[in-house]
Amino acid sequence: MRFDVSSPFSSSNPILETIAGLFHPPDQIAGISQLGSGNVNDTFLVTLNRSASRSAFVMQRLNTEVFEKPELVMSNLLKLGNHVEQRLAQQPPELSGRRWEVPKVLPTLDADGHWVEHQGEFWRSITYIGAATTADVIQDDLHARELGYGLGMFHHLISDLPTHELADTLENFHIAPAYLAAFDLVVSGITPQNSSRINEAVAFIEQRRNGIDVLERACARGELKRRPIHGDPKINNVMIDEASGQAVGLIDLDTVKPGLVHYDIGDCLRSCCNRLGEETQQPWNVSFDLELCRSILEGYLAIGRSFLTQEDFRYLPACIRLIPLELGIRFLTDHLSGDHYFRTERAQHNLERAEVQFALTKSIEDQWNDLNNLIDELANQH
User: CATH number, domain at 190?
Assistant: 3.90.1200.10
The pLDDT score that the predictor gives to residue 39 is: 61
- Going across the sheet that includes 42-48, the strands are 29-34, 42-48, 56-62, 121-127, 115-118
- Cβ atoms of 50 and 29 within 8 Å: the answer is no
Same domain, 218 and 283: yes
Where are the alpha helices (H) located in 27-140, listed in sequence order?
A: 70-89
Same domain, 80 and 229: no
Q: What's the rounded Cα separation, in Å, for the pair 23 and 27?
A: 12
Same domain, 87 and 192: no
Helices and strands counted in the chain (H then E): 12, 10
Query: Taking the CB of residue 121, how many other CB atoms lie within 10 A of it?
Result: 17
How many domains in the chain?
A: 2
Q: Domain of 59?
A: 14-128
Same domain, 251 and 323: yes
* Domain presence at residue 5: no
User: Each residue of 299-348: pLDDT tens digit?
Assistant: 999 999 989 999 999 999 999 999 999 999 999 999 999 998 888 999 99
Q: CATH number for the domain including 110?
A: 3.30.200.20
pLDDT beneath 50, residues of the chain: 1-12
Same domain, 99 and 168: no
Same domain, 153 and 32: no
Q: What's the rounded Cα separation, in Å, for the pair 365 and 321?
A: 7
Same domain, 150 and 71: no
Same domain, 302 and 345: yes
- Final residue in a domain of this structure, among 128, 157, 187: 128
- Cβ atoms of 325 and 362 within 8 Å: the answer is no
The pLDDT score that the predictor gives to residue 66 is: 82
The pLDDT score that the predictor gives to residue 112 is: 78
- Cβ atoms of 114 and 108 within 8 Å: the answer is yes
Same domain, 37 and 185: no
Same domain, 63 and 181: no
